């Protein structure tokens, strides 16, 4: 299992999601002394009911901890229990119920994009999100805030060797569908109802060459306007919800 390092959740939504999910090991809640927002006070009450230590501090101190991020008078210190190591992946795959749907992010650099992809993945019912440890955005407070609570409930696997993981998925009976602008097949033409891992590339460069070679097939989103491509988080949403549409049809 990945080492559970202490980190900060910043803002009402991430903290609320963590308290509700039970997937985060919250060690303490820190509120601004000046906090009077009813939503913040509700979080304080909920934390106390769960036996979580609650502290009051100055807004200046919360500003310092959050490094300028908008904290809304509430922070939570956590050791995330929904973040896993590559070695945990076989066990996580075995416990999936129903037809697997996995999101693989091949080097998304912008924490805002990472958070938006996580938010969409959670909304679409994705079972696992796989992200490389290197050359990729990490679960910073910025990414968590953009995820709007999804980063606290999704199972996220942080890996060191993407090619090895993709081979493991294939050996586990999961098809790999890579999203690429140059793909011959449109997403609406493909059969996406089976066990599937959607593989999305980085901003600008897209999928790496070896990643493309390991994918079973590639897909593209048809573009009707003059813009040649979509933001990676928007493209992820389009692809995931087409998968959901097909599976529910």
**Same domain? 107 vs 164:** yes
**Same domain? 159 vs 172:** yes
In CATH, what number is assigned to the domain containing residue 58? Answer: 3.30.1330.30
From 42, 60, 80, the end of a domain falls on 80
| Torsion angle defined by CA atoms of residues 220, 173, 107 and 79, in that order, rounded to the nearest 10 degrees | 130
Parallel, antiparallel, or unpaired: how do β-strands 6-10 and 53-57 relate? unpaired
**Same domain? 76 vs 126:** no
Q: Are the beta carbons of 214 and 226 closer than 8 angstroms?
A: no
Q: Which residue has the tokens 């906090």?
A: 35
Instruction: Establish if 170 belongs to a structural domain.
Output: yes
The one-character DSSP state at 186 is: B
Instruction: Establish if 1 belongs to a structural domain.
Output: no
**Same domain? 18 vs 87:** no
**Same domain? 73 vs 100:** no
The tokens for 42 are 């509700």
Tens-digit pLDDT string for the chain (249 aa): 444 567 788 889 888 888 887 656 788 999 999 888 999 999 999 999 999 999 999 999 999 988 778 899 999 888 766 889 999 999 999 999 999 999 999 989 999 999 999 999 999 999 999 999 988 888 887 888 888 888 888 999 999 999 999 999 999 999 999 999 888 899 999 999 999 999 999 888 889 999 999 999 999 999 887 776 789 999 999 999 999 999 998
**Same domain? 134 vs 234:** yes
Instruction: Establish if 209 belongs to a structural domain.
Output: yes
The pLDDT score that the predictor gives to residue 138 is: 86
The tokens for 178 are 């890579």
Parallel, antiparallel, or unpaired: how do β-strands 74-80 and 6-10 relate? antiparallel
Taking the C-alpha atoms of residue 77 and residue 107, their distance in angstroms, rounded to an integer, is: 27
**Same domain? 35 vs 93:** no
The pLDDT score that the predictor gives to residue 1 is: 45
**Same domain? 165 vs 230:** yes
Compute how many other C-beta atoms are within 10 angstroms of the C-beta atom of residue 155.
20
From 80, 98, 133, the end of a domain falls on 80
**Same domain? 68 vs 12:** yes
Where b means 16+ CB within 10 Å and e means fewer, 160-175 reads eebeebbebbeebebb
In CATH, what number is assigned to the domain containing residue 188? Answer: 3.40.1280.10
Domain that holds residue 52: 6-80
H/E run at residue 218:
strand 217-219
**For residue 66, how far is the Cα from the chain centroid?**
20
Its sign, for the CA torsion 116, 122, 125, 130, is: positive
Instruction: Establish if 116 belongs to a structural domain.
Output: yes
**Same domain? 150 vs 234:** yes
**Same domain? 106 vs 163:** yes
The pLDDT score that the predictor gives to residue 17 is: 82
The one-character DSSP state at 196 is: E
**Same domain? 187 vs 120:** yes
Number of domains in the chain: 2
Selection from 69, 68, 4, 14 nearest residue 39 by Cα: 14
From 48, 80, 112, the end of a domain falls on 80
Q: Which residue has the tokens 């679409």?
A: 124
Instruction: Establish if 123 belongs to a structural domain.
Output: yes
The one-character DSSP state at 32 is: E
């Amino acid at each position: 299992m990945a080492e559970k390092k202490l980190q900060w959740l910043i803002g009402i939504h991430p903290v609320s999601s963590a308290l509700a999910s039970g997937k985060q090991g919250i060690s303490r809640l820190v509120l601004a002394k000046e906090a009077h927002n009813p939503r913040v006070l509700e979080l304080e009450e909920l934390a106390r009911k769960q036996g979580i230590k609650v502290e009051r501090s100055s807004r200046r101190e919360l500003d310092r901890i959050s490094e300028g991020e908008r904290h809304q008078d509430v922070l939570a210190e956590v050791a995330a229990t929904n973040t896993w190591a590559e070695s945990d992946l076989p066990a996580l795959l075995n416990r999936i119920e129903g037809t697997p749907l996995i999101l693989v992010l091949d080097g998304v650099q912008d924490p805002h994009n990472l958070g938006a992809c996580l938010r969409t993945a959670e909304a679409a019912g994705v079972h696992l999100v796989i992200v490389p440890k290197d050359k990729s955005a990490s679960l910073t407070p910025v990414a968590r805030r953009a995820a709007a609570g999804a980063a606290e409930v999704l199972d996220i696997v942080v890996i060191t060797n993407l090619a090895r993981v993709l081979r493991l998925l294939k050996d586990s009976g999961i098809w790999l569908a890579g999203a690429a602008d140059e793909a011959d097949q449109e997403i609406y033409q493909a059969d996406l109802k089976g066990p599937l891992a959607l593989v999305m590339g980085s901003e600008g460069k897209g999928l790496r060459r070896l990643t493309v070679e390991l994918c079973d097939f590639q897909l593209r989103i048809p573009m009707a306007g003059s813009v040649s491509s979509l933001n990676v988080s928007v493209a992820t949403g389009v692809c995931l919800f087409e998968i959901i549409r097909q599976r529910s049809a």
